[in-house]
Amino acid sequence: MSTPPPGSLVLGPYVLPNRLFVAPMAGVTDRPFRVLCKKLGAGYAVSEMVTSRKDLWNSLKTSRRANHEGESAPISVQIAGTDASMMAEAAAYNVDRGAQIIDINMGCPAKKVCNKWAGSALMQDEALALEIVEAVVAACAPRGVPVTLKMRTGWCQAEKNAVALARAAESAGVAMVTVHGRTREQGYSGRAEYDTIAAVKAALRIPVVANGDIDTPHKAREVLAATGADAIMIGRAAQGRPWIFAEIAHFLATGEELPAPRIADAKGWLIEHLHDHYALYGELTGMRSARKHIGWAVRALPGGEDFRRRMNTLETCDGQVRALTDWLDALADDHDRLPYLPTADDAIDGALDDADTDAAAAANDEHQDQERRLTA
């Protein structure tokens, strides 16, 4: 590796182009969406989680999740599970299929594996969590593959063990830690807090990434300042708005806000994303799963909600592309740039609440359901 530019964020042999990451989101951050975000300014993307259950590795869902064609390095794959040797095997399996970084999910509720909840549930069992980290590092280190960890601030308010777990993970060889500023018990309620992330950053030598409720360039700057984090990770605010990475990068570099994208540019990016999406999923699944992306892209625009409802009745990929093209062209008759409506302060909470009744936001919905079951 040639000497990286000063101040670069380095992960093993990889020099990341910037410090703005797109968060792993099951049902959302598939390869087409990651490629789109990277093209529009994200410096790093983590795949949706892949289960450590071997019997599911050949399923269509898992093989689509392991598809990295055309994605720029480093390819980071998140794995979830509750058994150390299975997780080590899953890491090796994904490295064989192109993963260049392995991320361990202790940040969101993964499905039950062998009768135990994976993901953030592991934070309650520090010994098991560490056993998993050590096994995955042992599988990856000989192959030069960095292992990273994504966690929450703790299991519940009374047990915020992020600092202890992050320290132990660093000692075990983890190369970077991401912290979502909520406890597992909180699900997505309340606001993310950044003090615990700041404490993790202060306690570690490896890079620490701050995550949770970052939805504007101003918020990005505030969170970086409040936590001292080496990078920030953005999830829900990138849904339908993948250009948020370029907006944040510009603001951090200049202190000035970029105007919203030109409608013609946004149309080009969105339609290209749709074609990439259909190519991965095929006509029927692609048409259905593209609805949420289109819905998110139009939700904050005038007439977006009506369009979304109408678009959800269309049954072909061609029909979706034509409808979105026509709708954006009509919007461009009156506007040069995307005319975003003012958003409420709790725009992110709202996005998830809407998802309860909104078929187009099925990915958020499914995720919320899992959170609710776990915290009930």
Ligand X SMILES: Cc1cc2nc3c(=O)[nH]c(=O)nc-3n(C[C@H](O)[C@H](O)[C@H](O)COP(=O)(O)O)c2cc1C
- CA-nearest of 107, 133, 76, 131 to 197 is 107
- CA-nearest of 178, 166, 212, 230 to 46 is 178
Binding mask 32-51 for ligand X (x = CB under 6 A): ----------------xx--
Using CB under 6 A as the binding rule, whether residue 289 contacts ligand X is answered as: no
Minimum distance, C-beta of residue 297 to ligand X, in the bound complex (Å): 16
Among 100, 148, 211, 320, contact with ligand X (rule: CB under 6 A)? 211
Which residue is at the shortest CB distance from ligand X? 235
Minimum distance, C-beta of residue 355 to ligand X, in the bound complex (Å): 8
Minimum distance, C-beta of residue 236 to ligand X, in the bound complex (Å): 4
Give the span between the Cα atoms of 126 and 237, in whole angstroms: 31
Tell me the HSE value of 126 on the side-chain side, using a 13 A CA sphere: 14
Helices 244-254, 217-227: crossing angle, 10 deg rounding: 60
Tell me the HSE value of 170 on the side-chain side, using a 13 A CA sphere: 18
Residues 220-259 that bind ligand X (CB under 6 A): 234-237
Any idea what DSSP says for residue 196?
A: H
Report the residue number, 75 or 214, with the smaller CB distance to ligand X.
214
DSSP secondary structure string, 93-128? Answer: HHHHTT-SEEEEEESSEEEEETTEEEEGGGGG-HHH
Using CB under 6 A as the binding rule, whether residue 209 contacts ligand X is answered as: no
Q: H/E element holding 8?
A: none
Among 38, 53, 180, 201, contact with ligand X (rule: CB under 6 A)? 180
- CB count, 10 Å around CB of 178? 29
Give the span between the Cα atoms of 284 and 17, in whole angstroms: 36
Minimum distance, C-beta of residue 119 to ligand X, in the bound complex (Å): 7
Binding range to ligand X, per CB under 6 A, among 8-16, 123-131, 208-216, 251-259 = 208-216
Minimum distance, C-beta of residue 182 to ligand X, in the bound complex (Å): 8
Give the span between the Cα atoms of 359 and 162, in whole angstroms: 35
Residues 307-326 that bind ligand X (CB under 6 A): none
**Residue given tokens 């709202």 in the structure block:** 350
Give bridge partners of residue 231 from the DSSP assignment: 209
Among 212, 217, 242, 295, contact with ligand X (rule: CB under 6 A)? 212
Binding mask 133-162 for ligand X (x = CB under 6 A): -----------------x------------
Contact 181, 196 (CB under 8 A): yes
Is 177 in a helix, a strand, or coil? strand
Any idea what DSSP says for residue 139?
A: H
Report the residue number, 137 or 214, with the smaller CB distance to ligand X.
214
Using CB under 6 A as the binding rule, whether residue 99 contacts ligand X is answered as: no
Among 26, 42, 147, 248, contact with ligand X (rule: CB under 6 A)? 26
Among 52, 76, 100, 105, contact with ligand X (rule: CB under 6 A)? 105
- CA-nearest of 224, 195, 221, 219 to 209 is 224
Report the residue number, 23 or 75, with the smaller CB distance to ligand X.
23
Using CB under 6 A as the binding rule, whether residue 297 contacts ligand X is answered as: no
The answer to whether 108 is a known catalytic residue is: yes
> What tokens does 305 get?
């909600």
Binding range to ligand X, per CB under 6 A, among 8-16, 18-26, 287-295, 299-307 = 18-26
- CA-nearest of 35, 17, 78, 12 to 238 is 35
Report the residue number, 236 or 267, with the smaller CB distance to ligand X.
236
Among 12, 24, 187, 286, contact with ligand X (rule: CB under 6 A)? 24
Minimum distance, C-beta of residue 154 to ligand X, in the bound complex (Å): 14
* C-alpha to C-alpha distances, 170 to 122, 155, 326, nearest whole angstrom: 17, 19, 52
Site for ligand X, rule CB under 6 A: 23-28, 48-49, 78, 105, 107-108, 150, 180, 211-214, 234-237, 348, 363-364, 367
**Residues classed as catalytic:** 108
